Amino acid sequence: MRNDSSGNDPRTIWQNQPTEPSAMTLEKIRPKVRELHAKTRRQLLGNLVLPFIVIALCGFGIKHFHHPALRSLFAFAIVWSLAGLYFLNRGMWSAMLPGEAALSTGLESYRREVERRRSFSGRLMLWGFGPVIFAIATLIAVILSLGIGSGMLLKGALLKMSPFLTLTVIWIVSFFVIRMRQQRELQREIDELDAIERANG
Amino acid sequence: MNAEESQDGLYKDAADKYGSALERLARAYEADPEKRRDLIQEISFQLWRSFQRFDARCSLRTWVYRVAHHVAASHVLRERRIFSNLVSLEELEKLPNDGQLAADQQINLERLSMLIQQLKPLDRQVIISYLEGIDATATGEITGLSSGNVAMRIHRIKNILARRFHEGGSHAE
């Protein structure tokens, strides 16, 4: 490529772009440590939402239904959800520290980040989404069986619950489609990185 | 000098030497000015944290770029919409030229930034190194790509840039 002296050379355009003097002084960095802690606390609170939904649903189930098998199912969903809280957070905090990133090359650290995200996405399905689906399904089955037990036909019970069932199904399907797509994209990214590593020799 | 002073000293040194380059790097990863400001802050903060472990195993420049690219690539993965498609240099080479070179440097800079932002993170690392004037050996150290791999990518980058910035330029002139 010729070196364009008219200033149309991409390197010249890139290097001459206006920049501000470094705004992140040491005085501004220290408050960032506090900000990071606050952000971590907010994230932890955000992670409590799904288990809270499960506990609320199952708590309702345990309170209103006295059959031991049903109560066991609800209790199982609560335990699953609480275990998920641990496993999901463990995955979340295993992100690479900046010092480790500097000791790894761009290829290594990018690969680790993509793998971490793929693994986290899989864990989210099992430990986050799984208990919610299980709790909802149990609750729907119980409500349907109660409806039928009180003389209502299955068709009638289903009809009465159809708005809720439709919304639930749409939510579950969209969640699955989005997550599976993300998983596929991340896997494709990993395959490409594999190919680059092979070419690297 | 204690560890904290050393960490602060290294950060100041890095910010003085590479502050502008890091801003340019952030532009290559984030188009939105507001988010870009956040990204620069995040890179600076993570860089400062990383200096707790600096052991001069690699040069200060390699260290700075590795951390910066790692933070920026994580940012891309986090912000990426599932339907967005980032392309490789190979794919970008095949895409048609989308416009002519303008007389205004700012417009050309925007076009160059948009071109980089279409790329996958690893290819962005190579093109940024190329645009910053970092040689192939140092680019290999930063990215972890072999010298042959870096050379092949730089060749593609030159083709793409020549086609989009010089061919277009002849029309504009």
Q: Number of C-alpha atoms within 13 angstroms, CB side, residue B168?
A: 22
Which residues 6-35 of B have a C-beta within 8 angstroms of A? Answer: 8, 11-12, 15-16, 19-20, 22-24, 27
Q: What is the pLDDT of residue B40?
A: 92
- B63/B44 Cα distance (integer angstroms): 13
Cα separations in angstroms, A34 against A137, B8, B67, B119:
42, 17, 21, 34
Q: Are residues B29 and B103 in the same domain?
A: no
Mean predicted confidence (pLDDT) in A147-162: 76
Residue A75 belongs to a domain: yes
Residue of A nearest to B9 (CA): A26
Whether residue A3 has pLDDT greater than 70: no
Q: How far is CA A72 from the centre of its chain?
A: 27
Mean predicted confidence (pLDDT) in A63-91: 86
Whether residue B30 has pLDDT greater than 60: yes
Whether residue A144 has pLDDT greater than 50: yes
Whether residue B115 has pLDDT greater than 60: yes
Residue B104 belongs to a domain: yes
Q: Number of C-alpha atoms within 13 angstroms, CB side, residue B89?
A: 22
Contact B143 A196 (CB under 8 A): no
Q: What average pLDDT is seen over chain B?
A: 86
Q: What is the pLDDT of residue A43?
A: 75
- A183/A177 Cα distance (integer angstroms): 10
Residue B28 belongs to a domain: yes
Residue of A nearest to B14 (CA): A22
| Chain A residues touching B50 at Cβ < 8 A | 97-99, 101-102
With the CA atoms of B109, B112, B118 and B123 taken in that order, what torsion angle do they form, in degrees rounded to the nearest 10?
A: -120
Partners of B87 in the β-ladder: B119
Q: Are residues B72 and B98 in the same domain?
A: no
- A57/A135 Cα distance (integer angstroms): 7
Q: Are residues B42 and B105 in the same domain?
A: no
Q: Are residues B29 and B104 in the same domain?
A: no
8 Å CB contact between B83 and B108: no
Kindly report the nearest CA distance between residue B1 and chain A, in angstroms.
17
Q: Are residues B112 and B164 in the same domain?
A: yes
- Interacting residues of A185 by C-beta distance below 8 A, sequence separation 6+: B82
Q: Are residues B102 and B157 in the same domain?
A: yes
Entry pTM: 0.80
Whether residue A5 has pLDDT greater than 60: no
Q: Which of A110-119, A156-165, A173-182 has the lowest mean pLDDT?
A: A156-165
Q: What is the pLDDT of residue A2?
A: 45
Q: What is the pLDDT of residue A1?
A: 46
Mean predicted confidence (pLDDT) in B91-103: 70
State both tokens at A167.
């919304």
Q: Are residues B70 and B24 in the same domain?
A: yes
Mean predicted confidence (pLDDT) in A46-63: 86
Residue B84 belongs to a domain: no
Highest mean pLDDT among A27-41, A51-65, B15-29: B15-29
Residue A20 belongs to a domain: no
Q: How confident is the model at residue A116 (pLDDT cuts 50, 70, 90)?
A: confident
Q: Are residues B7 and B75 in the same domain?
A: yes
| CB of A194 less than 8 A from some CB of B | no
Q: Are residues B111 and B93 in the same domain?
A: yes
Q: Are residues B168 and B104 in the same domain?
A: yes
Residue B21 belongs to a domain: yes
Q: What DSSP assignment string belongs to B13-58?
A: HHHHHHHHHHHHHHHHH--SHHHHHHHHHHHHHHHHHHGGG--SSS
8 Å CB contact between A70 and A145: no
Which residues 61-80 of B have a C-beta within 8 angstroms of A? Answer: 63, 66-67, 69-71, 73-74, 77
- B65/B145 Cα distance (integer angstroms): 14
Instruction: Return the number of other C-beta atoms located less than 10 Å from residue A180's C-beta.
Output: 12
CA angle A127, B71, B93 (to 5 degrees): 105
Q: What is the pLDDT of residue B169?
A: 46
Q: What average pLDDT is seen over chain A?
A: 83
With the CA atoms of A152, A158, A163 and A165 taken in that order, what torsion angle do they form, in degrees rounded to the nearest 10?
A: 130
Structural domain for A175, as ranges: 48-200
- B139/A192 Cα distance (integer angstroms): 19
Whether residue B170 has pLDDT greater than 50: no
Tell which of B46, B79, B112 closes a domain.
B79
Whether residue A4 has pLDDT greater than 70: no
8 Å CB contact between B28 and B113: yes
8 Å CB contact between A151 and A123: no
Residue A25 belongs to a domain: no
Of A167, A136, A36, A35, the closest CA to residue A93 belongs to A36
Which of A29, A95, A104 faces B44 most closely, judged by CB atoms?
Answer: A29
Q: Are residues B72 and B10 in the same domain?
A: yes
Residue A19 belongs to a domain: no
Q: What is the pLDDT of residue A92?
A: 61
Q: What is the pLDDT of residue A136?
A: 86
State both tokens at B170.
């002849």
Q: How many domains does chain A have?
A: 1
Q: Are residues B8 and B44 in the same domain?
A: yes
CATH number where B71 lies:
1.10.1740.10
Whether residue B142 has pLDDT greater than 90: yes
Structural domain for B137, as ranges: 89-172
Q: How confident is the model at residue B81 (pLDDT cuts 50, 70, 90)?
A: low
Contact A14 B108 (CB under 8 A): no
Q: Number of C-alpha atoms within 13 angstroms, CB side, residue A22?
A: 22
For tokens 């641990």, name the residue: A86
Q: How many domains does chain B have?
A: 2
Q: What is the pLDDT of residue A23?
A: 65
pLDDT digits (tens, 9 = 90+) for B37-60: 989 989 999 999 899 889 888 999
Mean predicted confidence (pLDDT) in B69-97: 81
Mean predicted confidence (pLDDT) in A36-53: 81
8 Å CB contact between A71 and A59: no
Mean predicted confidence (pLDDT) in B75-94: 79
Contact B70 A21 (CB under 8 A): no
